[in-house]
Amino acid sequence: MIRQRRRSVFTALAGALALVLAACGSGGSDSGTQEQLSAQDVQAALEAGGTIKVWAWEPTLKEVVTGFQQKYPKVKVELVNAGTGDKQYTALQNAIAAGSGVPDVAQVEYYALPQFALAKSMTDLKAFEADKFEGTFTPGPWTSVHAGEGIYGLPMDSGPMALFYNKEVFDKHGIQVPATWDEYVAAARKLHAADPKAYITSDTGDAGFTTSMIWQAGGKPYQVDGTNVKIDFADEGSQRFTTMWQQLISEKLVSPVNGWSDQWYQGLADGSIATLVIGAWMPANLQSGVAAGAGKWRVAPMPQWEAGGKATSENGGSGLSIPTAGANKALAYAFVKYATTEEGVKTRVDGGAFPATTAELTSQEFLNAEFPYFGGQKANEVLSQAAQNVVGGWSYLPFQVYANSVFNDTAGKAYVSGTTLSDGLKAWQESSAKYGKDQGFTVN
């Protein structure tokens, strides 16, 4: 009898489980036919009003939302910070998999966009006539929001690389601003010899930095054609970078401090980290994070592989995309356009962001802005120039988010053991290729 009762309870439990499982399983993504959207539709949606949810962490968007709501009083925008970078992508991917709670607009970095595009998680904005913005944006970011034939977002900011350096430290030790990477290595040696506590820069293995450096050196380690992927870190550009950077690692000329840590900010402030080769979005971060460095820092063009060259690459930067599962795409698109091509751009530039639009990048007001933080230097002249000279033809992996997460497992070994950076990158290549194959890509 007891056994029987037990069985009935288990039947009930099994029933409950079945319900739970059914609930879990029902989140299939339905990528139906692509809907079209014209300018009139967007205008109509703005007049009708409604509420949209935006997931983004970029600080200047707050002002943009305020401006947008003033212009279109019937529309309400909920700006949610669902985490920065990876954290937000995880939340977003979970929401998309579950089929509920998906925002109408999401901020996605360029390197992560192909992954979302491939899974058809983001709307192809070509159907919304987004291709007319071709000339509006600078080439780097504009290429970055493309995946295959589609346009999966509008560029919000960009990060052409430049050399940020501490002039006070350079002057003290009589170091010239390096124009080439050879000069950079020489400067690193001279600085560290003069002051053993000072380093030219810090690096503990950063996938984004490494890929951007290879990009500038003309390397194309990732070749992506639909689901055919080729990964090759033995190409000339990659080798150029590893040969140069290996000297800095082997001779312990880079500070072993993790980027964005408290020690890193301290190092930038006290001169023990003398330069940063980083994206053009850095000034706002320096101003807020390294207040003590005000007046000491300057901006110079990125060091070159060939004397007299001008090549740069993108480092970071993100766009605004519209998830396929979003509810109100017309309003979402109106907001994305406002923030990236209309009044929102000025709001963001005033807030210290680095734009991706040609008009702002070439406007006299932008170029002539003097930065008190950089000792009155017109820093945007350098940065804007960098934006024009991004090397073309680069692409990220359609699973770059994962690849970057295992960078330190593999290439990171070069920073803590006898492994060379070149071998580290080879291991990274293998690890990325394995994941790609697991995910159904053709990798070779």
Partner 1 sequence: MAPPQPATVVPDGQESATSGAGTPGTARAKLPRRRRSWVGWRFVGPFLAVFALVFLAPIVYSIYLSFFRNRLVGGNSFVGLDNYQQVLADPQFWSGVGRVSLFLVVQVPVMLFLALLVALAVDSGRLYGRNFFRLAVFLPYAVPAVVATLMWGFMYGTRFGLVGNINEALGITLPDPLSPEWVLASIGNIVTWEFIGYNMLIFYSALQVIPRSLYESAEIDGASQLRVITSIKLPALRGALMIATIFSIIGSFQLFNEPSILQKLVPNAITTDFTPNLYAYSLSFSGQQYNSSATVAIVMGVITMIVAYVVQLRGMRKDG
- Residue 27 as a binder of partner 1 (CB under 8 A): the answer is yes
DSSP string, 174-228: TPPPPSBHHHHHHHHHHHHHH-TT-BSEE-S--HHHHHHHHHHTT---EEEETTE
User: 44 vs 76, 336, 367, CA distance in Å?
Assistant: 15, 16, 37
Contact call for residue 165 and partner 1 (CB under 8 A):
no
325 forms part of the interface with partner 1 (CB under 8 A): no
144: phi then psi, degrees, rounded to nearest 5: -65, -25
Least distance between partner 1 and beta carbon 438 (Å): 7
333 three-class SS: helix
CB of 175 to partner 1, least distance (A): 23
| # of chain residues touching partner 1 (CB under 8 A) | 47
390 secondary structure, DSSP code: B
Residues in 175-214 at the binding interface with partner 1, rule: CB under 8 A: 204-205
Q: Which of 73, 196, 417, 418 binds partner 1 (CB under 8 A)?
A: 417
Count, residues in the chain: 444
Q: Examine residue 223 and tell whether it contacts partner 1 (CB under 8 A).
A: no
438 part of the interface to partner 1, by CB under 8 A = yes
Q: Which of 7, 16, 225, 295 binds partner 1 (CB under 8 A)?
A: 16
Nearest to 277, CA basis, from 217, 346, 219: 217
Distances, alpha carbon 30 to alpha carbons 347, 398, 439, in Å: 37, 21, 20
Integer Cα distance of 428 and 82 in angstroms: 29
Regarding 39 and contact with partner 1 (CB under 8 A), the answer is no
Give the alpha-carbon dihedral of 96, 102, 107, 108, to 10 degrees.
0
Nearest 5°: phi and psi at 54?
Answer: -120, 125
Q: Which two tokens stand for residue 207?
A: 């996938």
- Shortest Å distance, C-beta 354 to partner 1: 27
Gap between the Cα atoms of 58 and 42, Å rounded:
24
292 binds partner 1 (CB under 8 A): no
Given 136, 263, 385, 420, the residue binding partner 1 (CB under 8 A): 263
Q: Confirm or reject binding of residue 405 to partner 1 (CB under 8 A).
A: yes
With binding defined as CB under 8 A, does residue 73 bind partner 1? Answer: no
Residue 433: both structure tokens together: 């290729």
Q: Is the distance from CB of 23 to CB of 94 less than 8 angstroms? A: no
Cβ proximity to partner 1: between 2 and 307 the closer is 2
Report the nearest approach of partner 1 to the CB of residue 77 (Å). 25
What distance in Å separates the CA atoms of residue 288 and residue 242, rounded to the nearest whole number?
Answer: 32
Q: How far is the CB of 20 from partner 1 (least distance, A)?
A: 5
Nearer to partner 1, 157 or 206 (CB): 206
Please state, in angstroms and rounded to a whole number, the distance separating the CA atoms of residues 269 and 202.
13
**55 SS3 class:** strand
Binding mask 96-125 for partner 1 (x = CB under 8 A): -xx----------------x--xx------
Distance of closest approach, residue 48 Cβ to partner 1, in angstroms: 32
Closest approach, Cβ 119 to partner 1, in A, equals 6
One of 300, 406, 420, 423 touching partner 1 (CB under 8 A): 406
- Please report, as ranges, the residues that interact with partner 1 according to CB under 8 A: 1-2, 5, 9, 13, 16-17, 20-21, 23-24, 27, 86, 90, 93-94, 97-98, 115, 118-119, 204-205, 227, 256-258, 261, 263, 398-399, 401-402, 405-406, 408-409, 412-413, 415-417, 435, 438-441
